[in-house]
Amino acid sequence: MTTIYRCITEDDTSQFCHRVSEALSKGWSLHGSPTMAFDPQKGVMRMGQAVTKEVAAEYHSDMKLGQQ
C-alpha cells in the first residue's frame, strides 16, 4: 500500500466544502486542520485542506490524484 497526498484549495465558498466532502466520500482522509489565508489580488479568503489516501498502486508523478 502507498499513501498519497493532495491539498485541496478553493475560495472560501461552499464549493470548497463540496470538494472536500467529495474527496472524503471517495475514501480520502483529512490530514491536519484546514487553513485560511487572504488573497489580496482577488480580495477573497482562500481555504486549503490536506487529504491522504491509502492506495494499492505504486506512486508515480503523473498519477491523477483527484481520480484516485
Specify the CATH number for the domain of residue 16. 3.30.70
Per-residue cell: 20: 472536500
CA distance 38 to 46: 6
Q: Does the residue 66 lie in any domain? A: no
| 67 in a structural domain | no
Q: Which domain holds residue 13?
A: 2-60
Q: Provide the domain count of the chain.
A: 1
Amino acid residing at 45: M
Mean pLDDT of the chain: 93
pLDDT in tens, 19-39: 999 999 999 999 999 999 999
Q: Would you say residue 20 lies in a domain?
A: yes
7 pLDDT above the threshold of 80: yes
Number of Cβ atoms within 10 Å of the Cβ of 58:
8
| Grid cell listed for 27 | 475514501
Q: What's the average model confidence in pLDDT over 34-49?
A: 97
Q: Which helix (H) or strand (E) holds 6?
A: strand 2-11
Separation of alpha carbons 55 and 27, rounded Å: 10
